[in-house]
Structure 1
Amino acid sequence: MSSDRSGSDRLVPDRLIPDRLVPDRFGRDDALADAARDDHVDDGPSSSRRTVVTAAAVAAGATALAVLARGYGTYRAERDAAYARVDPDEHRVAHTPVGDVEHRERGSGTPVLVSHGIVGGCDQAMRVGSALVDDARIVAPSRFGYLGSTIPTYPSPSTQARAFAGLLDDRGVDDTVVVGTSAGAPAAIRFALAFPERTRGLVLLAAATPSDRERDGPTGPPTPLLRDPVFWLLRSRAPRLLRRLFGVSRGDWQRAAPADRDRVDALLDTLFPVAPRRAGVAVDADFTNLHVVDHADDYDPADVAVPTLVVHAEDDPLADFSDAARFADRTPNGVLRAYETGGHLVFGHGDDVREHVTAFVRDPDGYVAGTAPRSATS
């Protein structure tokens, strides 16, 4: 098992993240200048896949420039409204031993801590938690580098788990159900492993789980995409393309119930503004998503003693289904809820997912004991 240097708690973000990726506290991207500028520096080995993605990102930036030249007023108004939604004055900050954790909290009942995915934040975590479970106390932190959360020297998922524990201490929460989505799953798994006495249950949704396969291509969006104008363009002018990146086809979208469409729209709204999330994206792309593969032994499902519910779509283009299924199968108290379609957002199954996650949150042990067979597919 690999060592974890999570004991290094001094906060020095610039040792890990280049200064150009750390925005001023909610300093806005300049629309036209940033759309045109390519400040991407890639010192690592290149690949054809990375080259294609980067070229597409640069093209998107150029397109954004042209669109903004015609509709800058609209962009500016929607940008300012987006920044108002993530105003730091509207969030709480917990001062933990490994740094500041910005968070939101809502509701009452069983505590549910949500570890959000890449290009997320406490706003996304709250959206996910509210969509997943009824009658719960949602604790929604921003992970390292997202919005107002700081970055420690060694931002491993284990260190992030310690930050979660510090947040729960601050909020007076003894134990919780932990939900990990996408790139937020490694920290959720590490929390369950490090603090089993504080973990009522573990839910992994479209999760990045340990894999025995070699890494292939980039592990996060290329830097040229991480511009407010580009993300605004995708969200407001090319939503079908944005949904497609998450595995939602045009046909699935047209056939879906309005409630499922609303859930996806609400979630995608949390991707913008992107500037206050860039440092967190860099942590995930350069550290989190690599760590769960390169140090898979640190996430051994056989060591996860708490009740575990894994929810995953078989056609997920971003998080491999076979890895998730294997994790559920090897977890002593694990259950897999699988769907043939849905992509990375498990789209089209919102009501069913909510029903099962809510039942699990209310009684994790009872849910696992009463679910037969262990792997259910819809």
Structure 2
Amino acid sequence: MAARLVRTILGGAVAFAVVASVRRYRRDLGAARARLAEVQRRVISTRFGALEYAETGRGDPPVLVSHGIFHGCDGGLLSVRDVIDYRRVVAPSRFGYLGSDLPVDADGADQSDAFIELLDDLEIGRVDVFGISAGTGAAVQAALRHPDRVAHLVISSGNWPGSTTSVAPPSWAKLFYNDAAMWAIRSCGGPALGALMGVPKGFPRNAADRAVISEMADSIFPLAPRTPGAVFDAFVSNPEINSYPLESLTVPTMIIHATDDPLATYSAAEQAAVRIPESTFVSLETGGHLGLGQSDRVRSEVAAFLNDEPSRPH
């Protein structure tokens, strides 16, 4: 009798926990969809299909952002929000993300050409290109293929040749490229979330770090409309970087990388800086993949490189 009662209580507790989790999942996904709906996204037609973008700010020349994995035009704007707010920022959703199509047999060169078609549509001549993490390949290709349209190239937490991120993951990794799996990791927090977001040991150090991690983790949802792009990045775009002729870059280039980045290998960024003619290398002592606590430093370095006078930090 007692054993049956215990089983009943445990079964009820498990059922309650499952129902509560499902409700939280639906609530969080609903909130994510609402956040995405607030972003003013536009779509143009290109020879590669639909290309979505969002933009904000004023100031010339504009900055084109090549966002990281699991993001999109919304994440592109978010990623540079605290670093560049004194320019017009144009953030396309790369191939397979949100409202942008993923062409058959696409590569980084195609993505860079799509960027140029977007600039043509917006009647923008030259831009400064800001590539982030998995957005490195498309940004570098834009500078290689269209140096007349790229005034400066800035790469933050980049995926460079020889980096652990430049190796395609095992095929089973795709099992985690969905809302439910990522939501479970997001909800558990701790080491799992830290590993996903590239948070180094010893972080977060304060409330500001925790806020950045939380906002960036939330920004990958809803994941379903980003999954094709994430798979393309992990299995095609990221590995391609190993064959790029970095020595042929003629556009002034700045590489920003934290020594304790647990995702994108620091030494690979160092070697890329050696290979790229007259590049500028900014080494961050701490901060990991997200550059936690480094916004002011990065803001100042980027502004000086782009010959800008940045507005005061918020």
Whether TM-score is above 0.5 comes out as yes
Q: 1:279 aligns with which of 215, 221, 228?
A: 228
Displacement of 1:215 = 6.8
Indicate whether 1:290 and 2:239 are aligned.
Answer: yes
Q: 1:150 aligns with which of 93, 97, 101?
A: 101
Displacement of 1:321 = 1.3
SS in 2 for 1:196: coil
Contact 1:112 1:129 in 2 (8 A): no
Q: 1:179 aligns with which of 130, 134, 138?
A: 130
Match of 1:77 in 2: 27
Match of 1:369 in 2: none
Q: Which moved more, 1:134-143 or 1:224-233?
A: 224-233
Displacement of 1:181 = 0.9
Displacement of 1:195 = 0.8
Contact 1:98 1:162 in 2 (8 A): no
Distance 1:354 1:263 in 2: 16
TM (norm. structure 2) is 0.85
RMSD across aligned positions (CA): 2.6
Indicate whether 1:316 and 2:271 are aligned.
Answer: no
Q: 1:196 aligns with which of 147, 152, 156?
A: 147
Structure-to-structure mapping, 1:143-292, within 5 angstroms: 143-211=94-162, 218=169, 222-238=173-189, 241-249=192-200, 251-253=202-204, 255-256=205-206, 258-292=207-241
SS in 2 for 1:209: coil
Distance 1:305 1:221, change over 3 A: farther
Indicate whether 1:351 and 2:296 are aligned.
Answer: yes
Match of 2:287 in 1: 342
Distance 1:280 1:269, change over 3 A: same
Distance 1:330 1:191 in 2: 17
Q: Which moved more, 1:188-197 or 1:264-273?
A: 264-273
Residue type at the aligned position of 2:250:
A
Match of 1:44 in 2: none
Displacement of 1:146 = 0.6
Tell me, which stretches of 5 or more residues in structure 2 are unaligned? Answer: 1-14, 310-314
Residue type at the aligned position of 2:223:
V
Displacement of 1:88 = 9.3
Match of 2:67 in 1: 116
SS in 2 for 1:113: strand
Distance 1:85 1:341, change over 3 A: same
Contact 2:83 2:299 in 1 (8 A): yes
Q: Which moved more, 1:224-233 or 1:157-166?
A: 224-233
Contact 1:260 1:350 in 2 (8 A): no
Contact 2:50 2:100 in 1 (8 A): yes
Contact 1:158 1:190 in 2 (8 A): yes
Residue type at the aligned position of 2:114:
A
Contact 1:219 1:286 in 2 (8 A): no
Distance 2:286 2:89 in 1: 27
Q: What's the CA shift string for 1:179-198, capped at 9, x where partnerless? A: 11111101100000111111
Displacement of 1:160 = 0.2
Contact 1:246 1:343 in 2 (8 A): no
SS in 2 for 1:208: coil
Q: Which moved more, 1:239-248 or 1:352-361?
A: 239-248
Distance 1:249 1:214, change over 3 A: closer
Displacement of 1:74 = 2.5
Q: What's the CA shift string for 1:38-71, capped at 9, x where partnerless? A: xxxxxxxxxxxxxxxxxxxxxxxxxxx9954333
Distance 1:66 1:112, change over 3 A: farther
Residue type at the aligned position of 2:193:
L
Q: What percentage of aligned pairs have identical amino acids?
A: 39
**Number of residues of Structure 1 aligned to a counterpart in Structure 2:** 294
SS in 2 for 1:167: helix
Match of 1:101 in 2: 51
Distance 1:332 1:344, change over 3 A: same
Distance 2:211 2:195 in 1: 16
Larger radius of gyration: 2
Contact 1:306 1:333 in 2 (8 A): no
Contact 1:231 1:273 in 2 (8 A): no
Match of 1:45 in 2: none
Distance 1:282 1:178 in 2: 23
Distance 1:313 1:181 in 2: 13
